[in-house]
A and B are shown apart, each in its own frame.
Chain A
Amino acid sequence: MADKYWWPDSEYIAFWPQHIPRKVTLECFIAAFETLRYARCESEEYEDGFEKIAILVDPYTTKSTHVARQLTTVQWTSKLGQSFDIEHDLREVCGQIYGTVGAVMKRDFAQKLPL
């Protein structure tokens, strides 16, 4: 996944799993990450042996806006649009631009699919 930009854009510029509807909904994002063997979980707390991602959504439209990946017990990483990657506390990217956490998903490190 790290080699390709994933996004369900209308012009088919970015990659998106073929059988997942090309829509910017939380459900479609969850389905897309399930193809990478992520499963939805309740907690954003760090768990040894697991890789977690957080899907952020606009609280008014519920459209997906951003995905952050957990690095450590307190740090997450995000690519800011067309810009650089940053490390941050998850709540630091919540707000006006990216909204709120819509879902947290995790996968066993051993389940990580080769790219």
Chain B
Amino acid sequence: MVFKIALRPDQITDLASLRVHKPELIDAIIANLAASLDPLIPSDAKERFGKLTQEWQSDTKFLSNIDEIALHPAYQRIIGMGPTVIPYILEKLITSPGYWFWALKAITGEDPVPAVDRGDMVNMTQHWLQWGRDHGL
């Protein structure tokens, strides 16, 4: 990713000097600048997942309609984060089970739950955790 920043000549000199003496500081400035300029690129996927999860769970905690729960914008953005979040979701299945199965199906394109276990939250969780183990997660 390329960033163009307008600097005064004296600022360029200062920056060059800073780069020589404090390279890690320059790297941190660039990383923070990247994160602030484009919110779609998470500097920490897990943190982003956590914030979206919190928003989703807060807004849907009283809903029973699974379609409405899964179509919440925050939940859809979690799905949009792709395979990166699969380990985080599997962790959530253990610590705070919820309606994560829709997201797992959408991201993986798979469904390890046999028809006989549909709706059985305990067994569905076990099927997906086994799926995770089978895929090294």
Question: Chain A residues in contact with chain B, CB under 8 A?
Answer: 3-7, 9-16, 24, 63, 65-67, 79-83, 97-98
Contact A14/B66 with A4-B120, A5-B121 known, Cβ cut-off 8 Å: yes
The residues in B between 104 and 137 inclusive whose CB is less than 8 angstroms from any CB of A are 105, 115, 118-121, 124
The residues in B between 45 and 89 inclusive whose CB is less than 8 angstroms from any CB of A are 57, 60-67, 69-70
Which single member of B61, B119, B124 contacts A6 (CB below 8 Å)?
B119
What residues of chain A lie closer than 8 Å to B118, measured between beta carbons?
Answer: 4, 12-15
Nearest CB in chain A: distance from B121 CB, A: 6
Bound Cα distance from A111 to B57, whole angstroms = 37
The residues in B between 92 and 114 inclusive whose CB is less than 8 angstroms from any CB of A are 98-99, 101-102, 105
What residues of chain B lie closer than 8 Å to A14, measured between beta carbons?
Answer: 66, 118-119
Contact A9/B66 with A15-B118, A15-B120, A82-B57 known, Cβ cut-off 8 Å: yes
Taking a contact as CB atoms under 8 Å apart, the answer to whether B101 and A13 are in contact is yes
> With contacts A15-B118, A82-B69 known, what are 18 further pairs, Cβ within 8 A?
A5-B120, A7-B64, A7-B65, A7-B66, A10-B67, A11-B67, A13-B118, A14-B66, A14-B118, A15-B120, A24-B65, A24-B67, A80-B61, A82-B98, A82-B99, A97-B62, A97-B63, A98-B62
State the interface size on chain B (CB cutoff 8 A): 22
Taking a contact as CB atoms under 8 Å apart, the answer to whether A15 and B119 are in contact is yes
Question: Chain B residues in contact with chain A, CB under 8 A?
Answer: 57, 60-67, 69-70, 98-99, 101-102, 105, 115, 118-121, 124
Nearest CB in chain B: distance from A99 CB, A: 11
Contact A81/B101 with A4-B120, A5-B119 known, Cβ cut-off 8 Å: no
Taking a contact as CB atoms under 8 Å apart, the answer to whether A11 and B70 are in contact is yes
Bound Cα distance from A6 to B65, whole angstroms = 10
What residues of chain A lie closer than 8 Å to B98, measured between beta carbons?
Answer: 82
Contact A13/B120 with A80-B61, A81-B61, A82-B98 known, Cβ cut-off 8 Å: no
